[in-house]
Amino acid sequence: MFGHTSPVSRRGFLTVGAVGGLGLTLGDWFALRHAAAAENEYVSPPVKAQSVIHIFLPGGISAQESFDPKPLAPIEYRGELRAIPTKIAGEQFSELLPRTAGIADKLTVVRSLTHSEAAHERGVQNMLTGYRPSPALEFPSLGSIVSHEFGPRKNLPAYICVPNMPSPYAGPGYLSAAYAPFSLGDDPARNGFKVRDLNLPGGVDEARFTRRREALAAVNQSFVDRTQADGVAAMNSFYQRAFDLIGSESAREAFNIDAEDGKMRDRYGRHQAGQRMLMARRLVEAGARFVTLSYGGWDHHVQVTGNMRRLMPAFDQAFAALVSDLDERGLLDDTLVLVSTEFGRTPKLNQDGGRDHWAKVFSVVAAGGGMRRGMVVGSSGATATEPEDTPVSPEDLATTVLHQLGIPAEKELMAPGARPIEIVKGGQVRREMLT
């Protein structure tokens, strides 16, 4: 019922429904719950990426202090940090990214991302949903779209947030809550980390749980048989998914970061960035389709240098470890890693040594999942003021990511009011990012 993989058209459903009785529906109601797909024409692209690890950096990270240094610009533009060479000939990263520079030949760096939403919540929406915010409609995040289009795999929820949703806009938007992310609710970097409600409560062993399930089947039977209500059917399916998850040791084990070798945990780094990225790798390895993790707070209106020195090294260690680890495991070709943020920071440092919001140009980084290795797309010019060439919009980025997953962005989903909405509107697949 949920997460069907074959497209069921709304009309098709209603026709089927009408056979059973007097198809009495008022359009929207069923449309929303049963086949949230409109009827436009689209072609599904071939699947290149099986899963996505989305590393979201809230607050808006400075590109100048990370992936797009401006060593030749005047000091008030370039800031205090030096630039270092990378594995991509002629391209430089900030000195705070030495390890990432060492694996840059596996990365696709887009230095010309651009949009016009320089307020936090609007920028977040634009980047997480591929849509500019609308007062009339809340759009689904990419993770929820993937969950809606594909459903769970290997008993793991399709869309998982580590540790929690980075923003309310990481949710299902106008889609049903069924496509909301499953949030870990706890930080993998914390000692004694545990995902809520995943394991049987104390005093309940497998045998007792089996007995409970038998009892539940006995009690549940008559009511479920008698009612055809949608909500009940949906709840049944979530119970089934919960049983699948609880019952699948490999799925549950994916959440158990303690099962990871100590050396591997050290390699990613025993900090938030490291353990969250390691958790994300465990989850996609076990079958999750879209894992969104957040790290740090990058809204550096004050002291951008100091703040970057504080936050960046952990990211550098973890990200380089993640990309190399995925590559070593042969997972990088199937797994699209995306590092994105809300927007960039102003070209010039302000009087507090910080940088303010700047949406006109900033950087995002991708790796794997059919992205072109060792590629730099676009440029932000001499001072990171605006895209000098190849501007890439959030719509383009979202469309490209979905394209790699085999989801056509032009496909329409049904929003409330029986309003068909394209998954992402007006974006292009950016071939220059792809192999």
Partner 1 sequence: MKFAGPQRKSQVVVDFLRESTNPAPRRSPELSCNQAPKVDFRRKSTTLLAPWALQLRLRLASFALWAAVYSPAPIAHAEEPAESAASPPVAAEFVELAVYPPQVRLEHGADAQRVIAVATRADGVTVDVTSQVQWSRAGEGPELLAVDAGVVTPRAVGNALLQAQLGELTAATDVQVAAVDPPGAPEFRHDVMPVFMRAGCNAGGCHGAALGKDGFQLSLFGYDPAGDYYRLTRQLSTRRINRALPDDSLLLQKAIAGVPHTGGKRFTPDDEYYAAIHDWIAAGAGDDAEQAATVESLQIYPPQAVLEGSDAAQQFIAVATYSDGEQRDVTDLAVFLSNNDASAAVGDSGLVTAANAGEAFVTARFDVHTVGSQVLSLSPEAKYEPPAEPPANFIDELVEAKLSKLRVSPSGLCTDDEFLRRVTIDLAGRLPTAEERAALHDDQSPERREHVVDALLASPDFVDVWALKWAEILLVRSEPNRVEYKPMYLYWQWIRNHVAAGTPADAMVRELISASGSSFLEPEVNFYQIEPDAKKIAENAAQAFLGIRVQCAQCHNHPFDRWTMDDYYSFAAFFSQIARKRTEDYREILVFNRGGGESTLPVTGKAMPPKFLGGEQPEINRRDRREVVAEWIASPDNPYFAANLANRAWSHMLGVGIVEPVDDVRVSNPPSNPELLDALAARLVKHEFDIRKLLRDIATSYAYQRTVETTAGNAHDQRNFAHALVRRIPAEALLDCVSQATGAPERLPGLPPGARALEVADGNGGNYFLTAFGRSKRTTVCACEASAEPTLSQALHMLNGNTVHGKITQGGLVKTWLEEGRTPAEVIAAIYDRCLGRAPSEAESQQLLALCGDNEKPVAELEDAFWAVLNSREFLFNH
Is 256 a binding residue for partner 1 by CB under 8 A? The answer is: no
* The binder of partner 1 chosen from 3, 8, 17, 386 (CB under 8 A): 17
Q: How many CB atoms lie within 10 A of CB 226?
A: 9
Q: Cα–Cα distance between 288 and 278 in angstroms, integer? A: 14
The CB-of-268 to partner 1 minimum distance in angstroms stands at 27
Per CB under 8 A, the segment of 52-60, 221-229, 290-298, 385-393 that binds partner 1 is 221-229
**Nearer Cβ to partner 1 (7/417):** 417
Strands 92-94, 362-367: parallel, antiparallel or unpaired by DSSP?
Answer: unpaired
The CB-of-207 to partner 1 minimum distance in angstroms stands at 11
Q: Is 262 helix (H, G, I), strand (E, B) or coil?
A: helix
Could you give the angle at the alpha carbon of 187 between the alpha carbons of 398 and 125, nearest 5°?
25
Amino acid at 176: S
Q: Cα–Cα distance between 52 and 183 in angstroms, integer? A: 16
The CB-of-197 to partner 1 minimum distance in angstroms stands at 4
CA distances from 424 to 39, 400, 401 (A): 16, 10, 11
Residues 132-191 touching partner 1, rule: CB under 8 A, are 132, 135-136, 157, 176-178, 180, 182-183, 185
The H-assigned helical ranges of 109-261 are 120-129, 142-150, 206-226, 230-247, 249-254
Rounded to the nearest 5°, which phi and psi values hold at 377?
Answer: -110, 130
Q: How many CB atoms lie within 10 A of CB 224?
A: 15
Residues 399-418 touching partner 1, rule: CB under 8 A, are 416-418
Is 9 a binding residue for partner 1 by CB under 8 A? The answer is: no
The CB-of-363 to partner 1 minimum distance in angstroms stands at 24
**Nearer Cβ to partner 1 (220/435):** 220
The CB-of-79 to partner 1 minimum distance in angstroms stands at 31
Two tokens, residue 280: 């994300």
The CB-of-250 to partner 1 minimum distance in angstroms stands at 17
The CB-of-209 to partner 1 minimum distance in angstroms stands at 9
Could you give the angle at the alpha carbon of 365 between the alpha carbons of 272 and 182, nearest 5°?
50
Residues 230-249 touching partner 1, rule: CB under 8 A, are 231-232, 234-236, 238-239, 241-243, 245-246
Could you give the angle at the alpha carbon of 184 between the alpha carbons of 322 and 122, nearest 5°?
80
Is 118 a binding residue for partner 1 by CB under 8 A? The answer is: no
Rounded to the nearest 5°, which phi and psi values hold at 320?
Answer: -65, -40
The CB-of-26 to partner 1 minimum distance in angstroms stands at 5
Is 198 a binding residue for partner 1 by CB under 8 A? The answer is: yes
The H-assigned helical ranges of 205-362 are 206-226, 230-247, 249-254, 262-268, 272-286, 304-328
Amino acid at 264: M
Rounded to the nearest 5°, which phi and psi values hold at 236?
Answer: -55, -45
Per CB under 8 A, the segment of 128-136, 299-307, 319-327, 347-355 that binds partner 1 is 128-136
Q: Cα–Cα distance between 197 and 5 in angstroms, integer? A: 28
Is 199 a binding residue for partner 1 by CB under 8 A? The answer is: yes
Residues 339-378 touching partner 1, rule: CB under 8 A, are none
Per CB under 8 A, the segment of 46-54, 69-77, 107-115, 227-235 that binds partner 1 is 227-235
Is 23 a binding residue for partner 1 by CB under 8 A? The answer is: yes
Q: Cα–Cα distance between 52 and 339 in angstroms, integer? A: 11
* The binder of partner 1 chosen from 191, 192, 196, 262 (CB under 8 A): 196
Is 250 a binding residue for partner 1 by CB under 8 A? The answer is: no
**Nearer Cβ to partner 1 (8/47):** 8
Is 84 a binding residue for partner 1 by CB under 8 A? The answer is: no
**Nearer Cβ to partner 1 (233/264):** 233
**Nearer Cβ to partner 1 (46/231):** 231
**Nearer Cβ to partner 1 (157/394):** 157
Is 16 a binding residue for partner 1 by CB under 8 A? The answer is: no
Find out whether 106 and 373 touch, Cβ atoms under 8 Å: yes
**Nearer Cβ to partner 1 (25/350):** 25
Residues 29-68 touching partner 1, rule: CB under 8 A, are 29-30, 38, 40-41
Q: Which residues pair with 160 in a beta bridge?
A: 182, 291
Find out whether 432 and 375 touch, Cβ atoms under 8 Å: yes
